[in-house]
Amino acid sequence: MNRFFILVVLTVIVCAGAYPRTQAAAHTTTSELSAQTLVALRSNDYVTVGTALFSAQSQADIDALDEHFQRLLARELSHTSTTIAYLPPTISQRLTAGITGSTTYKANISARTMTTLTRGDIILRRSHPRGCAIQQFVRGCRAWAAVYDHAALYYGRIDGVPMVYESHPQRGVRLVPLSNWQRSPAYVGIYRLKTSFATHANMLSRFVIAYGTNGRTRFNATQTDKTSDTRVSSAQLVWLYYRTIGVNVDSNNTLYAYWLRTGYSPLVASYIANHAVAPDEIALSPALSRVAHGWLP
């Protein structure tokens, strides 16, 4: 049974109400909980409990971990707001601040910044000022794009023209001029590997040869398995490239996974957070530094 079928089945089950939250959940005994859940609960650690929550498989585990995670989340937000005064105490706004460094979309990227891009830089794009709530560049992105809905790798210059390597929903994997991204208002984040990698040029060239430049590799719209490479999404393309150089840029960020639950049930959110990769997860990767963010010139 393939993973996409499993995801569809889970979605149908949850939508049908097969996992209702009832008062009985409050009386769950420890004998009903998995060993992983018991360890997480005893840890009283925000990240440990959050990670366990989004890999939980039973409703008893989910209920026990969710209640504890809510308390730890409140504590975490409280600590954060005292150390960073501007950081807002809501999950969505806190996630936005973690991704972009701000809770608004008012910053601009200078033309000079765009001339200092280096090969292998990651460019993440928000295709509409109000995100996927208004315009869905990728079908279904409203459910998984908190900030960014598209991703690409900066390839470098070809005959003097700056190029990006992307997987486009209609045209597949391709090399296109960076100016294509500047034809309409676009808010982007630019991210760079924290550690230098001397062979970016050679590795990226080989990667581009493997996946093609004219749509030979089609776009992956199902978001179900980041390791599949017969079809690839834009964020998946970025993740696959960095995997070839030994770097995992999928953060599997706990707060992002929790935000996912606003669009999916806990079980389905857990599957997507761990088996797929989204542009926002890349933005939150500890392996990357944020070079700039804002509206393209």
Q: Tell me the per-residue pLDDT of 144-159, one tens digit each, with 9 for 90 and over.
A: 888 999 999 999 999 9
Residues 223 and 135 in one domain: yes
Closest Cα partner for 144 from 88, 52, 50, 223? 223
Domain count, the chain: 2
My answer on whether 223 and 158 are in the same domain is yes
> Please, what's the largest Cα pairwise distance for the chain?
68
Q: Is there a domain that residue 22 lies in?
A: no
Does residue 30 register a pLDDT over 80? no
pLDDT of residue 244 exceeding 90, the answer is yes
Q: What is the mean pLDDT of residues 210-237?
A: 87
* pLDDT over 50 at 279, yes or no: yes
Asked if 241 and 179 sit in the same domain, the reply is yes
CATH of the domain at 165: 3.90.1720.10
State the pLDDT at residue 3.
39
Same domain for 170 and 46: no
Are 67 and 143 within one domain?
A: no
* Residue 257 covered by a domain: no
In a domain, 270, yes or no: no
Domain assignment present for residue 197? The answer is yes
pLDDT tens digit sequence for 188-210:
999 999 987 777 778 999 999 99
Q: Which domain holds residue 47?
A: 3-16+33-83
Question: Which residue would you say has higher pLDDT here, 142 or 242?
Answer: 242
Same domain, 59 and 195: no
State whether 186 and 282 are in the same domain. Answer: yes
Tell me whether residue 94 is in a domain. no
Tell me whether residue 206 is in a domain: yes
Q: Which of 46-50, 210-214, 275-279, 287-291 has the lowest mean pLDDT?
A: 46-50
Query: Closest by alpha carbon to 293, among 181, 185, 147, 187?
Result: 187
Q: Which of 84-93, 134-143, 173-182 has the lowest mean pLDDT?
A: 84-93
Instruction: Please tell me the predicted confidence (pLDDT) of residue 18.
Output: 33
End-to-end CA distance of the chain: 48
Would 268 be classed as within a structural domain? no
For the chain, list the strands marked E by DSSP. 122-126, 150-158, 161-168, 172-177, 187-193, 218-219, 231-232, 288-295
Tell me, yes or no, whether 206 and 142 share the same domain.
yes
Q: Please tell me whether residues 183 and 240 are part of one structural domain.
A: yes
Task: Assess whether 118 and 155 both reside in one domain.
Answer: yes
38 shares its domain with 182: no
Predicted pLDDT at 80: 44
